[in-house]
């Protein structure tokens, strides 16, 4: 639609297609020029895209076809605005933050927290996802290099936080090609696009790049992943840094937070076993984990981005983690304690797991590099897990003892 008058703006809409029926509008970020009128949806897109304050003195040139007859031009413009009026609600003199951040995987557990953190701290944040994206986020297939190029070119972010990944080790083992495409190929392409506009890319990686035999691990320690998930994330790190030497890699451990369903996190998924005390439950008591709240990781991402905007030397590999060492059995007991639930039905299993992908026994991350930069936040596990899980309490009577 280059050179044509924009027909309206629909958040998360697809490309316009020829054919009968009503015309479909492009995404809000696709409009490049507009008339600057208070009711013009293309103008709204331009101001939102650029993170600027609407004014009559400066702004995009008019995208409407200019006619010599003033009356007919006014009528055409009036009709054009009326056609698009149902899609937008614009307010005059709205300040939009000038710092722009794009978050991939914004529909996921970590991505939602990262989007919220930036959005609440004076950043113009745009999130993208795929299956669950609309209506809140942009629907982008990260394997579509053209779509990735377009949103980055049009939004011009200062920072990109790449949260999207296939993060389930057992799924990666069963679907290696698809996992490699997302974790490696898409990450390398995103890094290349970020470098093309000078954006700071934060690539989210994992503690599973280490074999867990000699913790704690510094950023300079040699990785040795035990499973395919760790290998794809390590390959993704290499692809990112090869295509963008100014990028950052942030390795993190197992996460928990405000889940939409218990299965979103390897920590919260244990809650049903904790609650249903009428049946004994075997819990792993072999692998040492450091459960980390997604809110803390989101804060670290924002602090890292803001530090980078002041200091271009902030780049490379970083580690962040909670500092409470627990097995799954100990996490389950802590969850029970947080909600005043019994834990006698939980049984610790100290043998190395034999099912599924191999896991490192203790991949503790040394976080001193970020701490020396004044970056970091840690939520105590019991406080964080209580905040995350209370909506999933089955026995509502316990809420009174927990919160009163």
- Greater confidence (251 vs 357) lies with 251
* Average pLDDT score, the chain: 81
Give CA–CA dist 212/207, Å, rounded.
Answer: 9
Res. 258 pLDDT band, cuts 50 70 90: very high
Res. 97 pLDDT band, cuts 50 70 90: confident
Res. 202 pLDDT band, cuts 50 70 90: very high
Residue 331: pLDDT over 60: yes
Record the tokens describing residue 62, joined without a space: 């008019």
Residue 18: predicted pLDDT: 42
Res. 356 pLDDT band, cuts 50 70 90: confident
Q: Give percent of the chain above pLDDT 70.
A: 74
pLDDT, tens digit (0-9, with 9 covering 90-100), for 123-142? 999 999 887 777 888 899 99
Residue 278: predicted pLDDT: 87
Residue 58: pLDDT over 50: no
What is the average per-residue pLDDT within 34-56? 41
Res. 386 pLDDT band, cuts 50 70 90: very high
Give CA–CA dist 216/113, Å, rounded.
Answer: 27
Close Cβ partners of 145 (under 8 Å, ≥ 6 residues apart): 189
Give CA–CA dist 404/384, Å, rounded.
Answer: 17
Residue 19: pLDDT over 90: no
Least reliable range by pLDDT among 69-73, 181-185, 222-226: 69-73
Residue of 105, 111, 186 whose CA lies nearest to 144: 186
Residue 156 and residue 100 in contact, taking contact as beta carbons nearer than 8 Å: yes
Residue 403: pLDDT over 70: no
Largest separation between any pair of C-alpha atoms in the chain? 84
Residue 282: pLDDT over 50: yes
Tell me how far CA of residue 189 lies from CA of 12, 165, 238, in angstroms: 22, 14, 12
What is the average per-residue pLDDT within 60-82? 43
Q: Give percent of the chain above pLDDT 90.
A: 66
3-state SS assignment for residue 327: coil
- Greater confidence (224 vs 77) lies with 224
- Greater confidence (230 vs 54) lies with 230
The pTM score is 0.78
Residue 2: pLDDT over 50: no
Res. 402 pLDDT band, cuts 50 70 90: low
Record the tokens describing residue 82, joined without a space: 């009326």
Paired residues of 217 in beta bridges: 365
Residue 35: pLDDT over 70: no
Residue 353: predicted pLDDT: 83
Cβ count near 262 (within 10 Å) = 15
Residue 258 and residue 113 in contact, taking contact as beta carbons nearer than 8 Å: yes
Record the tokens describing residue 192, joined without a space: 């290349």
Residue 335: pLDDT over 60: yes
Residue 89: pLDDT over 50: no
Res. 180 pLDDT band, cuts 50 70 90: very high
pLDDT, tens digit (0-9, with 9 covering 90-100), for 145-166? 999 999 999 999 999 999 999 9
Residue 17: pLDDT over 80: no
Residue 392 and residue 385 in contact, taking contact as beta carbons nearer than 8 Å: no
3-state SS assignment for residue 356: coil
How many separate helices (H) and strands (E) can be counted in the chain?
14, 11
3-state SS assignment for residue 68: coil
Residue 36: predicted pLDDT: 38
Least reliable range by pLDDT among 27-31, 54-58, 217-221, 240-244: 54-58
- Greater confidence (231 vs 403) lies with 231
């Amino acid at each position: 639609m280059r050179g044509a008058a924009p027909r309206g703006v629909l958040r998360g809409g697809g490309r316009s297609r020829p054919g009968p029926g009503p015309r479909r509008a492009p995404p809000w970020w696709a409009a490049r020029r507009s008339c600057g009128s208070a009711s013009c949806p293309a103008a709204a897109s331009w101001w939102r895209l650029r993170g600027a304050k609407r004014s009559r003195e400066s702004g995009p040139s008019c995208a409407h076809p200019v006619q010599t007859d003033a009356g007919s031009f006014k009528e055409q413009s009036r009709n054009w605005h009326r056609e698009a009026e149902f899609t937008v609600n614009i307010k005059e003199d709205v300040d939009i933050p000038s710092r722009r951040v794009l978050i991939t995987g914004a529909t996921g557990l970590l991505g939602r927290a990262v989007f919220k953190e930036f959005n609440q701290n004076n950043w113009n944040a745009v999130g993208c996802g795929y299956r669950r994206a609309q209506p809140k986020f942009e629907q982008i297939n990260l394997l579509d290099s053209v779509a990735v190029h377009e949103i980055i070119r049009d939004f011009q972010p200062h920072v990109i936080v790449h949260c999207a990944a296939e993060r389930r080790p057992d799924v990666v083992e069963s679907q290696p090609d698809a996992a490699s495409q997302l974790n490696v190929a898409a990450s390398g392409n995103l890094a290349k696009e970020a470098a093309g506009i000078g954006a700071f890319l934060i690539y989210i990686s994992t503690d599973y790049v280490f074999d867990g035999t000699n913790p704690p691990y510094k950023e300079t320690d040699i990785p040795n992943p035990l499973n395919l998930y760790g290998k794809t994330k390590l390959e993704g790190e290499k692809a990112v840094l090869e295509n963008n030497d100014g990028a950052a890699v942030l390795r993190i451990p197992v996460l928990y937070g405000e889940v939409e369903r218990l299965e979103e996190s390897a920590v919260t998924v244990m809650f049903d076993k904790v609650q249903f005390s009428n049946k004994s439950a075997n819990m792993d008591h072999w692998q040492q984990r450091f459960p980390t709240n997604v809110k803390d990781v989101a804060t670290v991402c924002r602090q890292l981005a803001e530090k980078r905007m002041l200091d271009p030397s902030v780049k490379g590999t970083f580690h962040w983690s909670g500092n409470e060492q627990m097995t799954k059995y100990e996490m389950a007991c802590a969850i029970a304690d947080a909600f005043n639930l019994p834990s006698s039905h939980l049984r610790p299993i100290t043998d190395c797991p034999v099912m599924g992908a191999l896991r490192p026994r203790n991949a503790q991350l040394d976080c001193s590099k970020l701490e020396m930069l004044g970056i970091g936040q840690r939520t105590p596990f019991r406080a964080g897990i209580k905040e995350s899980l209370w909506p999933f309490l089955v026995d509502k009577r316990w809420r009174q003892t927990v919160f009163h």
